[in-house]
Chain A
């Protein structure tokens, strides 16, 4: 599983990578995940539905991330624009 974050002037950056089935790596993933949420970022998991559609699931905790998810993408929270 990779945790990625969108950055202005950069594109995505890799925050952490690991296997959530390995305890030590899972801890690192959880720490990195919480750090981003503490900064107010939104987290999304891109998924493919059984019907072949692509969509994203917004998650608010690491527990909500599917264990087999390949990526979690963090991005700045939405704000009403002008």
Chain B
């Protein structure tokens, strides 16, 4: 009799366990979720927010640079800025230009590359950043087009100050020289197309 009652009790407990267990687990998970920290929506990466920021930054960049520079950035992803220092940007590196015209390529969030347009010779890389330490969304990094605009304003406004602030390296430290040469070739082709269209009086194509 006792054995039969024990067996029945065990079966009843097992059945109740089966029925109650999922509900208990669910209740525990709900409790844990309620107690979990809710992430700060102002922190972390939000692709939508970053995309909107980049759109605003592009509009600002477009309103500041000239039509050719904007088209260059839109079509090629970088802007060329002509250098204005008499001896070039070498800063005692032994890589002065000797008065030859030189220029910079401004890429978003990459070093500025100085080069000689006549020969295509790469001069230096200038590693420079514009970190916003207030980090409004957890990151000190400006949108791509704001980074380009900051470099453009600093270069055209006070080239020597920017170049003095930057860390100078030989070409190839961060930006692949093959990529730069390819970009210079693309720039050359792009300019030829623009000149040809200007001569024909047509609108400039976008690639």
- Residues of A within 8 Å of B133, CB to CB, are 76
CB of B106, distance to nearest CB on chain A (Å): 13
- Residues of A within 8 Å of B14, CB to CB, are none
B195 in contact (CB, < 8 A) = no
From B24-32, B64-72, B92-100, B196-204, the one touching the partner chain is B64-72
- Residues of A within 8 Å of B64, CB to CB, are 46, 54, 56, 73
From B1-9, B15-23, B116-124, B153-161, the one touching the partner chain is B153-161
| 8 extra interface residue pairs, beta carbon distance < 8 Å, beyond A11-B57, A78-B150 | A6-B143, A10-B56, A39-B134, A46-B63, A58-B161, A75-B149, A80-B128, A81-B127
B103 in contact (CB, < 8 A) = no
Partner pick for B56 among A12, A78, A80, CB 8 A cutoff: A12
CB of A69, distance to nearest CB on chain B (Å): 12
B165 in contact (CB, < 8 A) = yes
A7 in contact (CB, < 8 A) = yes
A55 touches B156 (CB 8 A): yes
CB of A36, distance to nearest CB on chain B (Å): 11
Q: Would you give the 0/1 interface string for A1-45, flagging 1 where the beta carbon is closer than 8 Å to chain B?
A: 000101111111000000000000000000000000001001010
Asked whether A57 and B127 contact (CB < 8 A) given A6-B146, A78-B166, the answer is no
Q: How many residue pairs at the A-B interface have CB separations less than 8 Å?
A: 126
B50 touches A9 (CB 8 A): yes
- A–B complex contacts, Cβ < 8 Å, 25 sampled: A7-B136, A8-B53, A8-B132, A9-B143, A10-B53, A11-B146, A12-B57, A44-B157, A52-B66, A54-B156, A56-B152, A56-B153, A56-B154, A73-B64, A75-B149, A76-B131, A76-B132, A78-B161, A78-B162, A79-B130, A79-B165, A80-B127, A80-B129, A80-B165, A81-B128
- Closest-by-CB residue of B relative to A10 is B53
B194 in contact (CB, < 8 A) = no
A78 touches B128 (CB 8 A): yes
Partner pick for A73 among B52, B153, B161, CB 8 A cutoff: B153
B111 in contact (CB, < 8 A) = yes
A11 touches B66 (CB 8 A): no
B residues 28-65 near A (Cβ < 8 Å) are: 46, 49-50, 52-57, 59-60, 63-65
- Closest-by-CB residue of B relative to A77 is B130
Asked whether A58 and B129 contact (CB < 8 A) given A9-B137, A9-B139, A10-B56, the answer is no
Give Cα A55–Cα B151 distance, bound, in whole angstroms: 11
- Residues of A within 8 Å of B139, CB to CB, are 8-9
B142 in contact (CB, < 8 A) = yes
Partner pick for A80 among B46, B57, B167, CB 8 A cutoff: B167
